[in-house]
A and B are shown apart, each in its own frame.
Chain A
Amino acid sequence: MSAENGMSRRVALVKLGVFLNGVVGVLLAVPIVRYLLSPVTRQKKFGYESWLSLGRLEQFPAGQTRLATYRNPMVNDWDGETGNIACWVRRVDDQTFQVFAINCAHLGCPVRWFPQSSLFMCPCHGGAYYQDGSRASGPPERGLFQYRYKIEDGRLLIKAGEMPTPGQPVANKARGETAWV
């Protein structure tokens, strides 16, 4: 065997070795990427939302808007208080409700209800909403996000589980489920 052939065989072995590592790399990359994408794939497969009780109907007097809190359906032990979410419940009349997300439709800051002027105001960038959640002024492009609700056994239930964000409703509509009105 000539020296030249020997060299080329060794070069070929190096190339083969690099190729082998490339294959192994791809094999490892697949589970790593799936691991990293698990928050997205879970959302696509099972969704994050479920029906939750906000309490008995008597807690929400007609004509008033009250703060309610619930424990997010998907939580871990170490989530602590971050698993508790607040929302605004407006009881329009006996059977009609509006349940607004606490997050401003602009950039998600917590809006506050002012019963005296019947306005929701945002402390961050100055968004304001009327009592029915529609946009009154400021940077938001739309009204407050609303949860779907239903009444069962004298309890107010809402479909919740995911932080509402401005980009989301459109995407949800595209998938045929309008979680956020």
Chain B
Amino acid sequence: MGLIQQLGNWIDLRLQLGTSIRETAEHKVPRQTASWLYVFGSAALTCFILQLVTGILLALIYVPSAGQAWNSLQTLNHGIALGWFIRALHGWGSNFMVAVVLIHMVQVFLFGAYKFPRELTWIVGVFLFLVTLGMAFTGQVLRFDQDAYWGLGIGASIASRVPGIGPWAVNLMLGGPIIAGATLSRFFALHVFVVPGLLIAFVGLHLLMVLKLGINEWPMPGRMVRRATYIQEYHELTQKEGVPFVPDAVWKDIFFSGFILLAIAACAILFGPFGPSGQPDPTIIQTAPRPDFFFLWLYALLSFLPPSAETPILLIGPAIGILVLLALPFVAGEGEKSWKRRPIAVLTILLVVVSLGTLTDLARHAPWSPLMDAWSSQPIPDKFLQGRTALERHGALVFQAKQCHNCHSLDKHGGQRGPALDAIALRLTEDQLIRQVIQGGGNMPAYGKNLSPAETTALVAFLETLHAANQRPARNASKALVLGAREAPPR
């Protein structure tokens, strides 16, 4: 008997865990679940373990103090050997973890895994999803830079809208009257103690239930889940065509986890750590705060919601979303599991993916934000200036000087907050242009107080030239009749 074997026996005689570990490892799973589609849960766990390890490594250097955190991140990036790599692993590990958890969720949803008797496994999974997002948000705060600072401001502004207790919720969230040391300290406590504690507890429960109830079998179209018979049927399935989890199924989990770790490391090396961006100094206002990737969709949504609907949707929407997820196994606890016979489930996933994807993509360009420096950095393209009169060119100058360019684009340059003006003369007559500039409206500020009559005349003269060469600008046909031939258009 080898020395290692002897040592193992010595330990197991005292620990008494060998038998149950072996039984757990070799428990039978339905043959078809040894699949590449059943690897995402274990991959999420692998990501979490990576986050635990890299998180502890970062905590060796990181200082959770509002005055020091940003400097300690700089030290991690530049002063500690491979500190940047640990930060990059933690940052990319976070993104991968959220992504893998989402994929896992979609997979178990489409495979009907939430149905009887795995309702509680799904519910704990929903909580796992929420605490994973909680980790992502609190982690973004610990990267204490401008984005984190103003992101906290957005969080506080949302919290303040809770009816009745809003202002108190803000004070509780910030730990005081403003975003400062106390705020960072409490988000540190959340990110490092509270939320990971919950995560570990939920992961334990989740895994325990997967082992006790058995992995969800591969759904067959037409094989219905019935409370009365399911457990018996599942038992027969695993007995008849079951394979031991180790090694028949687990090798795919191991390979995929290794692949995910490799992908995280590759991203960390190729793209490096996330930020930190500018110092968290609230007196530096030349900043355009953006959330991390997995909250970009929310950023877009906040820009598009009409003001009147915003508060109720912000406060009630998430609660409804979570309730729907929690209620799912009770509403659809029996019946068809296969996604091939569940068109509404498939369409729901498609709708959610397309919506979130579209919002995320929009948030990357943020067309709703004025381009703060377009007026001084993006000149009007030549083609809009050639062959124009002195008055029209002066109007172009007004267009730049009054920052119209921050919200309106010409030839795809400039802001996209308002409509592109390449052919505005085709849509609005001269009088309509004057009215729009002076009175604003349709989400445009009024410039009446801010433009002299001469400036307005010049600006509108310039806008009147914005149309294709072969098209004539819009004109008020009645004007000639009302004002007489004197005011009739020249052509």
Binding site for B on A (CB under 8 A): 36-37, 39-40, 43, 48-49, 67, 69, 72, 74-86, 102-103, 106-112, 114, 116-119, 121-126, 128, 130, 136-141, 161-163, 165-168, 171-172
Category for how many chain B residues contact A: 35 or more
Give chain B's interface residues, CB within 8 Å of chain A. 65-68, 149-150, 153-154, 156-162, 166-168, 170-172, 174-183, 279-283, 285-289, 299, 302-303, 305, 307-308, 310, 368-370, 372, 375, 401-404, 406, 417, 440, 443-447, 449-450
The listed residue (A72, A116, A119, A122) touching B177 by CB distance below 8 A is A72
Residues A109 and B154 in contact in the complex (CB < 8 Å), given A123-B288, A125-B369, A171-B167: yes
Smallest CB–CB gap between A103 and chain B, Å? Answer: 6
**CB closest residue in chain B, given A124:** B289
Complex CA distance for A119 and B417, rounded to whole angstroms: 15
Q: By the criterion CB–CB under 8 Å, are A80 and B66 in contact? A: yes
Do A124 and B150 have beta carbons less than 8 Å apart? yes
A124 touches B406 (CB 8 A): no
A74 CA to B183 CA in the complex, in Å?
13
Nearest Cβ on chain A to B118's Cβ, whole angstroms: 33
Contact partner of B67 among A80, A139, A168, CB < 8 A? A80
- A165→B161 CA distance, assembly (Å): 8
Contact B153 A163 (CB under 8 A): yes
Q: A77 to B66, alpha carbons, bound, how many Å?
A: 10
**What are 17 A-to-B residue pairs whose CB atoms are below 8 Å?**
A39-B172, A48-B176, A69-B283, A76-B180, A81-B279, A82-B181, A84-B281, A108-B156, A111-B285, A116-B403, A121-B406, A123-B289, A136-B440, A138-B368, A139-B310, A163-B153, A167-B170
**Considering only CB atoms, which chain B residue lies closest to A48 in the complex?**
B177
Q: Which of B369, B375, B445 contacts A137 (CB 8 A)?
A: B445
CB distance from A99 to the nearest CB of B (A): 15
B201 to chain A, nearest CB (A): 20
Structural contact, A82 and B403, CB atoms closer than 8 A: no
Q: How far is the CA of A84 from the CA of B180 in the complex (A)?
A: 10
Across-interface contacts of B307 in A (CB, < 8 A)? 139-141
A168 B167 Cβ-Cβ under 8 A: yes
With a cutoff of 8 Å between Cβ atoms, the chain B residues found around residue A78 in the complex are: 65-68, 181
Q: How far is the CA of A36 from the CA of B166 in the complex (A)?
A: 17
Closest Cβ–Cβ distance, residue B225 to chain A (whole Å): 40
Is A84's CB under 8 angstroms from B417's CB?
no
A-chain residues with CB within 8 Å of residue B153 when the two chains form the complex: 103, 107-109, 163
Contact B282 A85 (CB under 8 A): yes
Contact between chains at A75 and B180 (CB < 8 Å): yes
Complex interface: chain B residues within 8 A of A102 (CB)? 282, 285
Give which listed residue, B160, B161, B417, contacts A126 with CB less than 8 A.
B417
